Amino acid sequence: MYVLVRICGDVLYNRMLPAGMEAKELRLVSQAYPSQEALMAGATAMARAIAAKSPLAVCGTKRVLLYQRRAVEFARAVARSPAEHRVWQAVAVLCLAP
């Protein structure tokens, strides 16, 4: 809890985002690289690892992540107004239709 409060305080009050290894230690990023070359090598390795997976699994994972993001947007719309809620319901019906 304290870590989250400290991060929010740094970002909101000081406009300072934790960088590099500090961001990794706080688990805000999954990897931190010492140079641009190392970053590119890491990104290339990750891209190759993803490309080696089943296309169906990659597609399914992407759909789950997009669905989760839409679910969060839907919840926020419901909280804002009933009119937005009806629009999101219509969108959901259209998207889920076979």
End of a domain among 36, 52, 68?
Answer: 52
Is the pLDDT at 34 greater than 80, yes or no?
yes
Is the pLDDT at 84 greater than 70, yes or no?
no
CB 32, CB 20: distance < 8 Å: yes
**21's tokens:** 């290894």
Is the pLDDT at 91 greater than 70, yes or no?
no
Same-domain pairing of 87 and 64: yes
Domain count, the chain: 2
Q: Which alpha helices (H) appear in the chain, and where do they start and end?
A: 2-14, 20-25, 36-51, 55-80, 82-96
Whose tokens are 């991060």? That residue is 7
| CA dihedral of residues 52, 55, 57, 58 (deg, nearest 10) | 80
Same-domain pairing of 39 and 62: no
> Full-prediction pTM beyond 0.85?
no
CA 78-82-83 angle, to 5 degrees, is: 110
Same-domain pairing of 96 and 86: yes
Q: How confident is the model at residue 63 (pLDDT cuts 50, 70, 90)?
A: confident
* Domain boundaries, position 60: 54-98
Is the pLDDT at 62 greater than 80, yes or no?
yes
